[in-house]
Amino acid sequence: MKSDLLMNFSVNKETITVNIKREFNAPLANVWSAWTEAEILDQWWAPSPFTSKTKSMEFVAGGKRLYAMVGPENQERWGRIDYTSISPKTNFKYTATFCDSEGNPDSTFGSSYWDINFSEQGDSVIVDIEIKRDSLSELEKIIEMGFKEGFTSTMESLDKILKAQK
């Protein structure tokens, strides 16, 4: 599904960050819920043909989400999110790490540090994301693995969910 909604994706090698600015044509409460509730996250937080499956989630500062991206052959790629701060309907921050099904980190990929801001703009919501990596080589690795294409795909899936809620 193509849309005319804003989607900016940029990589800054000097600051070792990815910046994404994405517009959603939905109320702030719905967009916030889609990013913070496991039942909704599981409907979009994986690029097709993968699906997302949350094993546990506690959306509070100091809480975590343990989830798998499940492929068409039932292969599982586990991820752990550790929430570091939450300002309801405005911002939340977390550390994301690939891991095993028990949440033990996989040191192959390192971690990424997400800072996600939400703001209303007329009838739309802008989600402004900064993702920082520990090293340029890690940043380049995730870009080479198709992060931009995968993330763009998940945003389109989220659009469909938000549109269905109207």
pLDDT confidence of residue 2: 38
Q: Which amino acid is located at 19 in the chain?
A: N
72 prior amide bond cis, ω within 30: no
Q: Say if residue 152 is exposed, middle or buried (CB neighbours under 10 Å; 0-12, 13-18, 19+).
A: middle
For the segment 13-44, what is each residue's pLDDT rounded down to a tens digit?
A: 999 999 999 999 999 999 999 999 999 999 99
For the segment 97-130, what is each residue's pLDDT rounded down to a tens digit?
A: 999 999 999 988 889 999 999 999 999 999 999 9
